[in-house]
Amino acid sequence: QVQLVESGGGLVQDGGSLRLSCAASGSISNIYSMGWYRHAPGKRRELVAAVTSGINTNYADSVKGRFTISRDNAKNMVYLQMNSLKPEDTAVYYCHAQIRLRSTTYYSDYWGQGTLVTVSS
């Protein structure tokens, strides 16, 4: 009923940039928030950035000033512009959304399949 599809991952050098995209599709009534998590080997999954249906944003301290999250409500898409990338940013990045289906009155969590970002030194 709902799919989140990410794109934009890849290999980039230290100091480079990437732009991740995530598109939500299905029988969607409303999307409250969209965001990005990442999971690196040996580390816990962490929230990278999130944005509500309004303008409220939340960033991990490690990416503030380097990453920017944005959202296109009309297209049910969210983006993550990643600048000044560091090897420590290497991880699988997962799109996340809190979505209410047309047939329900509650919000549920949905996840994308993940896209790999590798930053080489």
Alpha-helix residue ranges (DSSP H) falling in the chain: none
Work out whether strand 108-111 and strand 46-52 pair parallel, antiparallel, or are unpaired. unpaired
The pLDDT value recorded for residue 55 is: 79
User: Which of 118, 101, 104 is CA-nearest to residue 26?
Assistant: 101
| pLDDT tens digits, one per residue of 77-116 | 999 999 999 999 999 999 999 999 999 999 999 999 999 9
pLDDT of the residue at 1: 83
> Alpha helix (H) ranges present in 5-117?
none
Residues 18-64: tens digit of each pLDDT: 999 999 999 999 999 999 999 999 999 999 999 997 779 999 999 99
DSSP reduced 3-state for 30: strand
Q: Are 53 and 45 in contact (CB under 8 A)?
A: no
Q: Residue 54 carries which DSSP code?
A: S
The structure tokens 């030194």 sit at 121
Q: 2-15 pLDDT, tens per residue?
A: 999 999 999 999 99
